[in-house]
Structure 1
Amino acid sequence: MINAVKRLRSVCLLAVATCLTPGAAWAADIAVLCSQGLKTVVEDLAPQFEAQTGDHLVVAYDTSALLKSQIEAGKPFDVVVLTPPLITALIQQGKVADGSATTLARTGLGLAVKKGAVRPDITTAETLKHALASAGSVAYSTSGVSGSMFSAALQKLGIADEVKAKAKPVPNGLTGDVVVHGEADLAVQLMPELMSVSGVDVVGPFPADLQSYVVLTGGVSTSATDKARAEAFLAFLKKPSVAAVIRQKGLEPS
């Protein structure tokens, strides 16, 4: 009888200790659908968030447009990071909670070459024009916002038809991968997307007079498994300590 009481006491003490261990008893998965523009940031910071909370991030990356389509097709999620117009559209559809939209960062277009290749001068509109016109092929995204931004820049430079005639359209994924595989000489995409490809050298951002920016905004699903946990992840990405990582990855914190 005494042994049974001792065993019961030990079990109770273990249960109490487990409950008092941060995150141990209440850990959960948080499903995140994230624009590729914030991929390098989330990959870098995920272990820190998980260590602090005990929760586990299950993240899927793609272009904002494709992620929105997946959500509209019924893909479940807790947190989504897209461009503001797409977040607004999902709020109107009742898929993202009204009032949950959180501006996280912004980033602009950049250009990359295969690692070790000669880096063209793109510091001015004229030198960028020369680099694009003289390249054998330029890879650019057709599903993300960067594609329309690139098209606008080409129009300003007056070489849209010339470049598009020899361009390598990329319907999804990273344009840097196309350059790594030798299918194009230059890759154009958002700076953090280019920086996420290990086989390229990022030449730099477009010059200011040709630059456009993509704002990345987070939102919480109206069907989130645990809205408080989802909100906690977005709050984590807004911490002052996270700003340095955001800048390091080619974005500007908001």
Structure 2
Amino acid sequence: MIRHAAPALLAAAILSALPCVPAARAADVVVMASGGMAASLRALAPDFARSGDHLVLVRGPSMGATSDAIPARLARGERCDVVAMVGGALDGLHAKGLVGAGTVMAMSPIGVVVRAGAPHPAIGTPDALRRTLLDAPSVAFSDSASGVYVSHDLFRRLGIEDQMRDKARMIPETPVAQIVAGGGAAIGFQQISEILPVKGAELVGPIPQSLQKLTPFAVAPCRDAPDPAGGRAFIRFLSSGTAREAMRSSGLDPVGRATP
């Protein structure tokens, strides 16, 4: 007569015969991000954590000469899974083989910032912006994409390049809004998504549409990524409706359509 094992013993026997499968382990997904995307990525960290992975955000400018700039970090061998930065600067890293091909996630407009509580100057038209800049005792702009445009094109297009030479200055690495909030400049220019998170500063608004320069922000996988699968999962996550809403709330304009 065949005897049947007790259910518990039978289950134990079956489990012991199965190959050993290691338990899933939460991983740190390292993302190097410039200021334009940093606020939205920081806000998204808890949502991404529900996937089982943990977002580690490393801040750095997309360009410039500082040691914390993303190109400098990668050039000296710092490793990451994803970069999130100005599209043009990312293209340069891709050409050097440091990152994969980029995917544009959002466009970022340039805004004007003043110290919290200060009167908001008129900037709604080119003429109004020109008068405001001529009247301002000091002006600050970043060393990244928005600042390059402001110093090389905007002042020239407004016909005030010579007048701004002695009172406008480039701010390396530190957010321009932070300099303005601390009284280091009366008025500043930077990506709106970099202005909004700074306490003590207030966004006046975007520069006039006829003068506006939209900057693409893109993401790409890093070469020799410690966790390439986690990096790919994070890039897919950035196309979700949740991620797009976070970008929009931070002052970015998401591109494309959300994934289901």
TM-score range, shorter chain: 0.7 to 0.9
The match for 1:103 is: 104
Map 1:205-244 to 2 at 5 A: 205-244=206-245
Map 1:180-219 to 2 at 5 A: 180-219=181-220
Cα separation, 1, equivalents of 2:46 and 2:38: 14
Letter in 2 for 1:118: P
Corresponding residue SS for 1:187: strand
Give the Å deviation of 1:96: 1.1
Task: Give per-residue Cα distances to partners, 1:104-153, cap 9 Å, x unaligned.
Answer: 10101100111011001111111111111111101111x21111111211
Task: Give per-residue Cα distances to partners, 1:182-227, cap 9 Å, x unaligned.
Answer: 1111111111111121111100100001100110110001211221
* Residues 168, 184 of structure 1: 8 Å contact kept: no
Counting aligned pairs with the same residue, the percent is 32
Cα separation, 2, equivalents of 1:45 and 1:160: 40
One of 81, 97, 110 as aligned partner of 2:84: 81
TM-score by length of 2: 0.84
Cα separation, 2, equivalents of 1:165 and 1:75: 38
Corresponding residue SS for 2:128: helix
The answer to whether structure 1 residue 112 and structure 2 residue 113 are counterparts is yes
Map 1:110-189 to 2 at 5 A: 110-141=111-142, 143-151=143-151, 152-189=153-190
The match for 1:22 is: none
| Greater fraction of residues in helix | 1
Cα separation, 2, equivalents of 1:243 and 1:232: 15
One of 55, 58, 75 as aligned partner of 1:57: 55
Give the Å deviation of 1:161: 2.0
Cα separation, 2, equivalents of 1:30 and 1:240: 20
Cα separation, 2, equivalents of 1:239 and 1:226: 21
Corresponding residue SS for 1:183: coil
Corresponding residue SS for 2:165: helix
- Runs (4+) off by over 3 Å: none
- Structure of greater Rg: 2
Name the Cα RMSD after superposition: 2.1
Map 1:10-89 to 2 at 5 A: 19=23, 25-50=24-49, 52-65=50-63, 66-89=69-92
TM-score by length of 1: 0.86
In the alignment of these two chains, the number of paired residues is 234
* Residues 37, 85 of structure 2: 8 Å contact kept: no
User: Could you list the runs of 5+ residues in structure 1 that have no partner in the other structure?
Assistant: 20-24
Cα separation, 1, equivalents of 2:216 and 2:39: 16
Letter in 2 for 1:64: S
Corresponding residue SS for 2:184: coil
Cα separation, 2, equivalents of 1:44 and 1:149: 28
Cα separation, 2, equivalents of 1:197 and 1:56: 25
Give the Å deviation of 1:83: 2.2
